[in-house]
């Protein structure tokens, strides 16, 4: 194997490692986004007691968590765009 072929193989390997690292980071951030959505955005709406007086904080926190989750999801998409 020539030196040029070895360098090309090493460059392809580094590129693959970089891309996999980006995918793992994006997957982690997206997983955090899903968890925030499930725990803070959806669960409190179902856990609220219907007979209790209306508390504006429950839907406010749900909307806030939905926004944070969406922001993290779009950040994860941004990680993927940087792949080689």
**Distance in angstroms (rounded) separating the CA atoms of residues 41 and 18:** 33
Which residues, in sequence order, are CB contacts of 64 under 8 Å at separation 6+?
40
Q: How confident is the model at residue 82 (pLDDT cuts 50, 70, 90)?
A: confident
Q: What is the DSSP letter of 64?
A: H
Q: Note the pTM of the prediction, 2 decimals.
A: 0.80
The predicted pLDDT at position 63 comes to 92
What percent of the chain is predicted at pLDDT more than 70? 96
Mean of pLDDT values over 39-50: 82
The predicted pLDDT at position 51 comes to 66
The predicted pLDDT at position 53 comes to 76
The predicted pLDDT at position 4 comes to 85
């Amino acid at each position: 194997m020539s030196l040029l072929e070895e360098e090309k193989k090493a460059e392809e390997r580094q590129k693959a490692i970089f891309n996999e690292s980006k995918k793992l980071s994006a997957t982690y951030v997206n997983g955090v986004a899903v968890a925030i959505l499930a725990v803070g955005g959806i669960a409190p709406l179902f856990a609220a007691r219907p007979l209790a007086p209306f508390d504006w904080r429950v839907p406010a926190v749900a909307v806030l968590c939905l926004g944070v989750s969406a922001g993290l999801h779009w950040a994860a998409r941004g990680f993927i765009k940087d792949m080689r």
